[in-house]
A and B are shown apart, each in its own frame.
Chain A
Amino acid sequence: MIAAPALLVLAIMAPATGVVLAFAFGGRAAEWIAIATTVAGAAIAAGIAATLWSTGLPLRYVIGDWAPPLGIALRADGLSAIMLLTSAVVMGAVVLFARETFAQRPGAPETRTPLIFWTMLMGVWAGLNAVWLAGDLFTLYVALELLTFSAVPLVSLEGKPETLVAALRYMLFALVGSVLYLLGCALLYGGYGTLDLELLAHAVRAEPVTVLAAALMTAGLAAKTALFPLHLWLPPAHAGAPAAASALLSALVVKGSFILIVRLWFDALPGVAGAGAATLLAAMGAAAIICGSIVALRQARLKLMIAYSTVAQIGYLFFLFPLAGAAGHWSRIAWTGGMMQLVAHAVAKAAMFLAAGLIGEALGHDRIAGFAGLGRALPVVMLAFGLAGMSLMGLPPSGGFVAKAMLLTASVGEGQWWWAVVILIGGLLAAGYTFRVLAPALAGGPVPLVAPIPRSRQAIVLGLAVCALLLGLVPLRPSQLLEVGRPVAMAVSR
Chain B
Amino acid sequence: MIWLGATVGVPLAMLLACVLPGVRYRMTNWLALAAVPGLGAALFASGASLDLPPLLLRLRLSLDGPGALLLGAAALLWIAGGVYAAAWLRGDARRGRIAVWWLLTLAGSLGVFIAADLVSFYLLFSMVSLAAYGLVIEGATPDALRVGLIYVALAIFGEALLLMGFVMLAVSAPDGASLIRDVVAALPASPRSNAILTLIILGFGVKLGMVPFHVWMPITYRTAPVPAAAVLSGAAVKAGVIGLIRFLPSGVALPGWGQVLVVLGFISAFYGVLAGVRQSDPRTVLAFSSVSQMGVVIAVFGMGLIAGDTGVALAAAFYGVHHTLVKGGLFLGVGLAPLAGAWRNRLVLVPAAIMALGMAGLPLTGGFLAKLAIKPVLGDGLAGLLGTVSSAATALLMTHFLFRVAALPKAAPAPPPGRDLRWPWLAVAVASVLVPWGLYPAVLGGSVTYALSASSLWRSLWPVLVGGGLGFAMQRWGGSVILVRDSNVIVPVSARVDRIMIGLGIAVERFDIVLREWPVAMLSLIAMAVALAVLMLAPI
Contact = CB atoms under 8 A, between A and B. Distances in A.
Interface centre among A275, A295, A394, A473 (most CB of B within 10 A): A295
Contacts of B156: 393, 427-428, 431
B524 A408 contact: no
B536 A276 contact: yes
Nearest to A436: B149
B189 interface: no
A397 B525 contact: no
Contacts of A473: 55-57
Contacts of B407: none
B170 A277 contact: no
A206 B508 contact: no
Interface string A279-301: 11000100000010011011000
Contacts of A274: 535-536, 539-540
A4 to B, nearest CB: 25
Interface string B56-80: 1110000000000000000000000
A215 B529 contact: yes
Given A297-B505, A424-B164, A275 B539 contact: yes
Interface in B464-523: 504-506, 508-509, 511-512, 515-518, 520-522
A218 B521 contact: no
Contact of B167 (A180, A220, A420): A420
Nearest to A440: B145
B194 to A, nearest CB: 13
B532 interface: yes
Interface centre among B167, B504, B524 (most CB of A within 10 A): B167
Interface stretch (A15-23, A48-56, A70-78, A227-235): A227-235
Interface in B143-200: 144-145, 148-149, 152-153, 156-157, 159-160, 163-164, 167-168, 170-171, 175, 192
A484 B152 CA distance: 41
A295 B508 CA distance: 7
Interface string A231-261: 1100100000000000000000000000000
B516 A231 contact: yes
Given A396-B119, A408-B164, A424-B163, A295 B512 contact: yes
Task: Give the contact-size bracket for chain B.
Answer: 35 or more
Contacts of A219: 525-526, 528-529, 532
Given A439-B137, A442-B134, A232 B518 contact: yes
Nearest to B192: A412
B116 to A, nearest CB: 16
B257 interface: no
A451 interface: no
B443 interface: no
A82 interface: no
B533 A211 contact: yes
B148 A276 contact: no
B163 A216 contact: no
Contact of A229 (B153, B157, B504, B515): B515
A277 B160 contact: no
A409 interface: yes
A276 B539 contact: yes
B498 to A, nearest CB: 11
A395 B536 contact: no
A29 interface: no
A173 interface: yes
A147 interface: no
Contacts of B528: 219, 222, 230, 280, 284
A202 interface: no
A405 B515 contact: no
A443 B137 contact: yes
A148 to B, nearest CB: 16
A494 interface: yes
A439 B55 contact: no
B211 interface: no
A276 B540 contact: yes
Contacts of A424: 160, 163-164
Given A212-B533, A420-B167, A474-B56, A298 B539 contact: no
Nearest to A470: B56
Contact of B525 (A214, A223, A393, A475): A223
Contacts of B130: 395
A189 interface: no
A68 interface: no
A370 to B, nearest CB: 16
B411 interface: no
Contacts of A412: 164, 167-168, 171, 192
A161 interface: no
B531 interface: yes
A297 B528 CA distance: 27
A294 B506 CA distance: 9
B170 A409 contact: yes
* Pairs A-B, 7 closest by C-beta atoms: A276-B535, A219-B529, A215-B533, A215-B532, A232-B516, A229-B515, A473-B56
Interface of B: 55-58, 119, 122-123, 126, 130, 134, 137, 144-145, 148-149, 152-153, 156-157, 159-160, 163-164, 167-168, 170-171, 175, 192, 504-506, 508-509, 511-512, 515-518, 520-522, 524-526, 528-533, 535-540
5 contacts: A215-B536, A223-B525, A228-B515, A298-B509, A420-B167
Given A232-B518, A443-B145, 16 more contacts: A211-B533, A211-B536, A215-B530, A215-B536, A218-B529, A272-B536, A277-B535, A294-B508, A295-B509, A298-B505, A408-B163, A424-B160, A424-B164, A428-B156, A431-B156, A476-B119
